Structure formats: C-alpha cells, structure tokens
A and B are shown apart, each in its own frame.
Chain A
C-alpha cells in the first residue's frame, strides 16, 4: 500500500466500516445486541438495519449541527438526537411486525446505549461535513448488520437447524441447545473474532512481505 496524502473519499470511508474497521469484529463495540438478539438470522438483520438507520440519520444531524452544539453539552445533545431516531425506529418496527418487535424486546430501545452510535457521533460526525459523516455511519451500520448476520446465521443453523426460518436438515435434526443460550453467543462471537484476527494477521504478513520485496 502506498501512503496517500489526499483525504479518503466518502466511498472509502463507507467500505472502512464494513471491513477494515468493522464495529463488531475489529472495534468490538455494541456487544450487548451482538450477544442478545443474534439467536436467528432474521432478528440479527432487522436489529442491524434498525441500528443502521439510527446511525445514519443521527450522524447526519450531528454533523449538520456540529458548529451549533456547545462543546460542554455535546454528549447530552448526541444522546437526545440518537434517542429521537430510536423512538422513530421503535414505533416503526412495532407497526411493521409485532412478532419481530416482541422478539427484539428491550434491545430496540437499547440502541440508544449502543457505543457504536455515540462512538461514531463523537469520533467522526462531529468533525466532518454531513456527506462523509453519513457515508461513514452507513458503512459502520452495514458492517454492524453484517457482523450480526454472520453470528445469527451460525447460531440459527446450529441451534435450530434453520436459516431464515426454513428447515435445512429435515425433521430429525438435533438442535445444539447451547447455541441459542447466552454461551452460544459468546462462542460464535469468539469464533468470528478469531477468523477476522487471522485474516488481519495474514494480510499484514503479506503486506510486510510485499514491502520487503520492494527496494
């Protein structure tokens, strides 16, 4: 990789959130919904999309208001902005699907306490213009969704023998009870963390080799 002087484009920032700075597997943020609602792939995706919406909208607003918000009360202001969109999502999900609303339970309201959101608002949106801030936030949100989906898939396949509610193995599948229990969340999260860490490790090695080969 050659070092660039130019600031990263919005699209680069979008991709960063999905892979290089994935909020779950690289930054290890937002562990509460990660462990709690990933029992099935559908739950995981809807939780991820809800978070993405809140993240995108609140980061856009924070970025627009960044010069108007006094530094002393910025955290409180971010929380108010985030809480507004969480309320919107909360009512929206309740209206769209009551089953889903009940499956996700308190975790929709707890999006407001998700550190990914406050982290993005503080670290990125408050320092950048609206367009890059929104792109970055959407990338992070999709990365979060991807992470939840990867955990949810494994837990649903092993824990229920299904994917998106469709039985994969026939009637006699033996569910791994542990996978739908809290320990299963930790096991699967740990598994993906190892996979991501291994990717980064071998990627760094290859980069080092490539740089070493150049004079």
Chain B
C-alpha cells in the first residue's frame, strides 16, 4: 500500500486568483455593454484602449523585471476595465492610455505586483489623470446622442499630447438642447438641482462611462456577492453608512442637503462600493475591520461631496480607506479561540 504524505490544505475549492478575477470581469461585461449602448463608439474605444494599455504595462513590467507572465491572472484586465468605467466617455484615448500605464506601474508594479499593492490600482490611475488633466476628466458628453454608433465624440480622437477640442459645439449639433455638461452631483453642488431617481435608473444622466445605471451595477454586484466572489459586508457597510449619514443631513436641513436616494444613486458610489472597495488585495480581512473600512468609505464620500471642493468623493474616500486598511486590521484582530477575553 502506498501512502502519500502531504501538508495541508488537503482540499482546494478550485478558486484561485485567475478564476475569481475572471468572474469579476464577466460581471462587469453587462456594465460595459450598457455603457457602449449609451455612449457608442467612444465608450467602446475607451474601454478597449485602457484595458490594452494596462495589459501592455503589465507585460512590459514582466519583461523588465524578468518575472513570470502575470497577464494570465486577469488582474490587469480587471484594473483596465474598472479604470475605463470610471473615466468620462469623452475622455481622449491617449489620456486613457496614460491612465492605464499609471495605474499598473504606479499603483501595482512599484509595490511588487498583485497582492502587495496597498491602493486600488485603477483608482491610482484615475487619481493620476485627475491631477494631470483636470479639464478633460471633468468634461462630460451627453448620453444617447443620435450618431453614437457611427462617429466618435470629437474629443476621443485627440492626437497624443494635444488638447482635446471643446465638445459643447458638437453637443449642440447633436440636437440636444438641455445638455449642461455637468454631472448631477455638480448640478446639485453648484445649482442645487437634484436629479430624479428614475433618471439614474435608466441612465439618462451625464456621468462616467460605467456609473450611469445604478440598477445594473447592483445586479452585477449581487451576482458576485451571491457567488461569494466579493465580500457582501463591504458594499453593505459602504452604502449603509453613506445612506445613514445622508439621511441625517437630509432630516436636519432638507432644503440644503439632497435625499439619501440621490446620494446612493449619483456619481460613482455604486460602482465604487461594489467593484472598487471590494478589491481583495486592498481591503481589510478581519470582520470588524471590514465593517469599519466600509463605513469609513461611506462617511468620507458624503463628507467630501458635501463639504469638499470636489463634486465627487468616492475615489479619494476609497484611497484613504485603503491606506487605513492595515491599521483597521491591526486594531480589530479577532479573539483567538480559547484565548482570554479582552486580550487580542
């Protein structure tokens, strides 16, 4: 009789990094499809270019550091797709490529690759282009323009290193009268006009490529949570804390602060809560730490939106919470089974 000696673990669920990452990519495909349906060619090209530049950056990094090929773990793909979904659809493609390279190199490779990165790489890329090209990243194109499947938004095809053309004229030619070029959050902040929940659900708002349909993001996120590819506690605590805080503000001063539904559905909060805050490499692992991490994101988002200079706070809220993650883990170590109470 032959005996095989092995150390644990003896059983593997079959879920390794590539499987999880691939499923997250699948879950984002409907959001991409909706974005393309809304914005046409420009959104498709943006998603493609950003993802390809992320993959290229990863490949070049593999080549330089002589490491194994890490393209096959799908993490660079996921970074690229998330990054593209957080950018405005009229974003020039060359800037999208810059964002892709910045996210992989500054956000991941420099820290030692997947799992070593303290910050969400996609958000690092977005923060970089937000600091580099503040005008382009706050220029929004109207959704459902007439010729969206046959022609690009003019700013998409800007030559590399050149300033994108003004799209206000183009928007007028599309026969859209009421186009303001501002996101609902900006309109609320500067003009105190709140958008209706119905507009958010059907995507009739100006926003980043992938954050217009809250209901679709919710469904895709729920699918991932149901299959246990993401930790349901993170989105619940992010959305719950944001909603609770917004509700308190709304109760105190209803004419000054918008309704909690508006806060939940507008901007990138849905996308951030389901797809960015839940990044496994950058979120805490202890149960209490996870709840606190989510609450921190929700609270910071509302605080930045209400009192900060920016109209949207999800990106910086998640980056700050990422930085706080290890500390939250350290302070919230669970009691070891059999250990004394009150001691960690």
Task: Return A10 CB to nearest CB of chain B, in Å.
Answer: 38
B117-160 with Cβ < 8 A to chain A? 128, 131-134, 136, 158
The answer, among B131, B161, B163, for a CB contact under 8 Å with A181, is: B131
The reply to whether B163 and A179 form a contact with Cβ atoms under 8 Å apart is: no
Does A174 contact B131, Cβ atoms closer than 8 Å? no
Chain A residues with Cβ under 8 A from B113's Cβ? none
Output the residue of B110, B133, B158, B164 with the most chain A CB within 10 A: B133
Contact B161 A174 (CB under 8 A): yes
Asked if A172 is an interface residue, CB under 8 A from chain B, the answer is yes
B178 interface residue (CB < 8 Å to A): no
- In the complex, are the beta carbons of A172 and B132 less than 8 A apart? no
Contacts of B95 in A (CB 8 A): 174
- Given A177-B134, A187-B106, 6 more pairs with CB closer than 8 A: A161-B161, A169-B162, A174-B161, A174-B163, A178-B128, A181-B131
Residues of A within 8 A of B131 (CB): 177-178, 181, 183
What string of 1s and 0s marks CB contacts (under 8 Å) between A151-189 and chain B?
A: 000000000010000000100111011110101000100
Knowing A177-B133, A177-B134, say if A172 contacts B163 (CB, 8 Å): yes
Contact pattern, A 103-145, Cβ under 8 Å of B = 1, otherwise 0: 0000000000000000000000000000000000000000000
Q: How distant is the Cα of A174 from the Cα of B136 in the complex, in angstroms?
A: 10
Chain A residues within 8 Å of B106, by CB? 187
Say whether A169 contacts B132, CB under 8 Å: no
The answer to whether A173 touches B128 (Cβ under 8 A) is no
Residue of A nearest to B165 (CB): A172
Provide the bound-state CA to CA distance between A111 and B162, in Å.
Answer: 38
When distances are taken between beta carbons in the complex, the residues of chain B under 8 Å from A190 are 110
A169 and B162 CA atoms in complex are apart in Å by 8
The contact sample of 11 A-B pairs, CB cut-off 8 A, is: A169-B162, A173-B161, A173-B163, A174-B158, A174-B162, A176-B132, A176-B133, A177-B132, A179-B132, A190-B110, A198-B64
With CB as the reference atom, state the residue of chain B lying closest to A171.
Answer: B163
- In the complex, per-residue mask of B6-21: 1 if CB is within 8 Å of any chain A CB, else 0: 0000000000000000
Q: Distance in Å from the Cβ of A13 to the closest Cβ of chain B? A: 33
Contacts of A181 in B (CB 8 A): 131
- In whole angstroms, what is the CA distance A183 to B132 when docked? 10
Q: How far is the CA of A174 from the CA of B159 in the complex (A)?
A: 10
The interface residues of chain A lying within 8 Å CB-to-CB of B110 are: 190
Chain B residues with CB below 8 A from A187, complex form = 106
Give A103 to B131 CA distance when docked, in angstroms: 23
A183→B124 CA distance, assembly (Å): 13
Once the chains are docked, how many angstroms separate the CA of A88 from the CA of B198? 70
Give A174 Cβ to nearest chain B Cβ, in Å.
4
Partner of B133, one of A173, A174, A198: A174
CA–CA, A102 and B162, complex, Å: 31
- Which 6 pairs, one residue from A and one from B, show the smallest C-beta to C-beta distance? A178-B131, A178-B132, A176-B132, A174-B163, A172-B162, A172-B163
Contact residues in A for B134 (Cβ distance below 8 Å) = 177
Chain B contacts for A174, CB-based, 8 A? 95, 133, 136, 158, 161-164
The docked-state distance in angstroms from the alpha carbon of A183 to that of B164 is: 24
Looking across the interface, which residue of chain B has its beta carbon closest to that of A194? B110
Bound form: Cα–Cα A178–B124 in Å: 13
Give every chain A residue within 8 A of B164 (Cβ-Cβ): 174
Q: Please, how many angstroms separate the alpha-carbon atoms of A177 and B133 in the complex?
A: 6
Q: In whole angstroms, how far apart are the Cα atoms of A144 and B95 in the complex?
A: 33
How far apart are the CA atoms of A174 and B135 in the complex, in Å?
10
Question: How far does the alpha carbon of A198 sit from the alpha carbon of B66 in the complex, in Å?
Answer: 13
Q: How far is the CA of A178 from the CA of B133 in the complex (A)?
A: 8
Closest Cβ–Cβ distance, residue B327 to chain A (whole Å): 23
Residue picked from B132, B133, B163, most chain A C-beta under 10 Å = B132
Measured between beta carbons, the chain B residues less than 8 angstroms from A172 are 162-163
Residues of chain B within 8 A (CB-CB) of A179 are: 132
Residue-wise, chain B 162-179 has the 8 Å CB interface mask toward A (1 for contact) of 111000000000000000
CB distance from B113 to the nearest CB of A (A): 15
> Which chain A residue shows the least CB distance to B158?
A174
Query: Mask for A70-107, Cβ within 8 A of B = 1, else 0?
Result: 00000000000000000000000000000000000000
The minimal Cβ–Cβ distance linking A200 to chain B, given in whole angstroms, is 15
Cα of A191 to Cα of B110 in the assembled complex, Å: 10
